[in-house]
Structure 1
Amino acid sequence: MMVLVLFTIWALGLLVLFTDPKNTSIRWASATAFVGGGGFFAAVIDETLLPLFQDTLHPALVSGLKFVSKFSSFVCQVGLPYTFLLFAVYSGEWITRKTKIIIQYAALVPPLIMLVITPIYPVLQFNYWLMLVWVIPYFLSASLILVHLYRIEKDPLVKKSRLFTNLLVIVPMLFVFTLLYVMRTQNYYDAWRYNSLVVGIQFLLILFISVKYGFLGVKWRVQKHRLNSTLRAITSGAQIVNHTIKNEVGKITLYADRIQSYAVETDQPKLRDDAKIVIQSAQHILDMMNRIQGQLQDMVLQEETIRPSAVIHQVLLDMKPYADKYQTEVITELDDTLMLRCDPVQLREVLTNLCMNSFEAMKNGGTLKLQLFLSKKHLVIAVSDTGTGIAKENLPHVLDPFFSTKKSGQNFGLGLSYCYNVLQKHQGTLEIYSVKDEGTTVFLYFPQKRVIA
Structure 2
Amino acid sequence: MMVFILFTIWALGLLVLFTDPRRTSIRWASATAFVGSGGFLAAVIDEIILPDWAGALAVHPEWSTALRVLSRCVSALTQDGLPYAFLMFAVHSCESFSRKTKAIIQYAALIPPLIMLAITPIYPVLAFNYRIMIVWVIPYFLAACALLVLQYRSEKDPLVKKNSFFTNILIIVPLFFVFLFIYVMRIQNDYEAWRYNILVVVIQFVLIVAISLKYGFLGVRLRVEKRRLDSTLRALTSGAQIINHTIKNEVGKISLYADRIDAYAADTRQPGLREDAAVLAASSRHILEMMNRIQEQLRDIVLQEKTVQPIRVIAEVAQTLQPYAEAQQVSVLAELDESLLLRCDPVHLREMLTNLCMNAFEAMKTGGTLRLQLFLSKKHLVIAVADSGVGISPENLPHVLDPFFSTKKTAQNFGLGLSYCYNVMQKHHGRLEIESEPGRGTTVYLLFPQKRVEGRT
Scaled by the length of structure 1, the TM-score of the pair is: 0.98
Q: Select 2:137's aligned residue among 101, 110, 135.
A: 135
Matches within 5 A, 1:32-71: 32-57=32-57, 58-71=60-73
In 2, the alpha carbon distance for the partners of 1:46 and 1:154 equals 48
Give, in angstroms, the shift of residue 74 of structure 1. 0.6
Give, in angstroms, the shift of residue 304 of structure 1. 0.9
In 1, the alpha carbon distance for the partners of 2:218 and 2:88 equals 20
Question: What SS class does the counterpart of residue 434 from structure 1 fall into?
Answer: strand
Alignment of 1:429 with 2:431, yes or no, is yes
Match of 1:153 in 2: 155
Give, in angstroms, the shift of residue 345 of structure 1. 0.6
Match of 2:264 in 1: 262
In 1, the alpha carbon distance for the partners of 2:63 and 2:216 equals 46
Match of 2:99 in 1: 97
Residue by residue over 1:317-339, the C-alpha shift from the partner in whole angstroms, topping out at 9 and shown as x without a partner, is 00011111111111111111111
In 2, the alpha carbon distance for the partners of 1:51 and 1:220 equals 42
In 2, the alpha carbon distance for the partners of 1:219 and 1:416 equals 22
Residue by residue over 1:140-177, the C-alpha shift from the partner in whole angstroms, topping out at 9 and shown as x without a partner, is 11111111111111111111111111111111111111
Matches within 5 A, 1:212-231: 212-217=214-219, 219=221, 221-231=223-233
In 2, the alpha carbon distance for the partners of 1:389 and 1:174 equals 38
Name the amino acid aligned to 1:276.
A
Give, in angstroms, the shift of residue 114 of structure 1. 2.0
Give, in angstroms, the shift of residue 99 of structure 1. 1.4
Residue by residue over 1:106-157, the C-alpha shift from the partner in whole angstroms, topping out at 9 and shown as x without a partner, is 2221222222221111111111111111111111111111111111111111
Residue by residue over 1:42-73, the C-alpha shift from the partner in whole angstroms, topping out at 9 and shown as x without a partner, is 10111111111111231111111111111110
Matches within 5 A, 1:330-349: 330-349=332-351
Matches within 5 A, 1:199-348: 199-217=201-219, 219=221, 221-348=223-350
Alignment of 1:405 with 2:407, yes or no, is yes
Q: Identify which range, 220-229 or 28-37, moves more after superposition.
A: 220-229
Give, in angstroms, the shift of residue 214 of structure 1. 3.3
Match of 2:21 in 1: 21
Match of 1:164 in 2: 166
Residue by residue over 1:67-122, the C-alpha shift from the partner in whole angstroms, topping out at 9 and shown as x without a partner, is 11111101111110111011011111111111111111222212222222211111
Give, in angstroms, the shift of residue 281 of structure 1. 0.6
Name the amino acid aligned to 1:290.
N
Give, in angstroms, the shift of residue 215 of structure 1. 3.3
Match of 1:445 in 2: 447
In 2, the alpha carbon distance for the partners of 1:14 and 1:295 equals 42
Residue by residue over 1:382-423, the C-alpha shift from the partner in whole angstroms, topping out at 9 and shown as x without a partner, is 111111111110000000001011111111100000001111
Name the amino acid aligned to 1:19.
T
Give, in angstroms, the shift of residue 309 of structure 1. 0.9
Matches within 5 A, 1:381-400: 381-400=383-402
Give, in angstroms, the shift of residue 213 of structure 1. 2.5
In 1, the alpha carbon distance for the partners of 2:227 and 2:10 equals 29
Question: What SS class does the counterpart of residue 118 from structure 1 fall into?
Answer: coil
Give, in angstroms, the shift of residue 217 of structure 1. 4.9
In 1, the alpha carbon distance for the partners of 2:180 and 2:333 equals 49
Alignment of 1:4 with 2:15, yes or no, is no
Question: What SS class does the counterpart of residue 215 from structure 1 fall into?
Answer: coil
Residue by residue over 1:169-224, the C-alpha shift from the partner in whole angstroms, topping out at 9 and shown as x without a partner, is 11111111111011111110000000111111111111221123333455562222
In 2, the alpha carbon distance for the partners of 1:205 and 1:361 equals 37
Name the amino acid aligned to 2:22.
K
In 2, the alpha carbon distance for the partners of 1:131 and 1:296 equals 63
Moved over 3 A (4+): 214-220
Name the amino acid aligned to 1:209.
I
In 1, the alpha carbon distance for the partners of 2:79 and 2:216 equals 32
In 2, the alpha carbon distance for the partners of 1:326 and 1:215 equals 42
Match of 2:112 in 1: 110
- Does the Cα contact within 8 Å between 2:163 and 2:215 map onto a contact in 1? no
In 1, the alpha carbon distance for the partners of 2:303 and 2:12 equals 38
In 2, the alpha carbon distance for the partners of 1:318 and 1:117 equals 72
In 2, the alpha carbon distance for the partners of 1:452 and 1:270 equals 65
In 1, the alpha carbon distance for the partners of 2:133 and 2:46 equals 24
Match of 2:79 in 1: 77
Residue by residue over 1:296-324, the C-alpha shift from the partner in whole angstroms, topping out at 9 and shown as x without a partner, is 11111111111111111110100011111
- Does the Cα contact within 8 Å between 2:369 and 2:387 map onto a contact in 1? yes
Scaled by the length of structure 2, the TM-score of the pair is: 0.97
In 1, the alpha carbon distance for the partners of 2:291 and 2:21 equals 47
- Does the Cα contact within 8 Å between 2:382 and 2:447 map onto a contact in 1? yes
Name the amino acid aligned to 2:41.
F
Over aligned residue pairs, what C-alpha RMSD do you find? 1.1
Name the amino acid aligned to 1:263.
A
Question: What SS class does the counterpart of residue 56 from structure 2 fall into?
Answer: coil
In 1, the alpha carbon distance for the partners of 2:229 and 2:120 equals 57
**Fraction of identical pairs, as percent:** 69
Name the amino acid aligned to 1:81.
P
Match of 1:364 in 2: 366
In the superposition, relative to structure 1, how do residues 101 and 217 fare at CA in structure 2: closer, same or farther (>3 Å)? closer
In 1, the alpha carbon distance for the partners of 2:278 and 2:225 equals 46
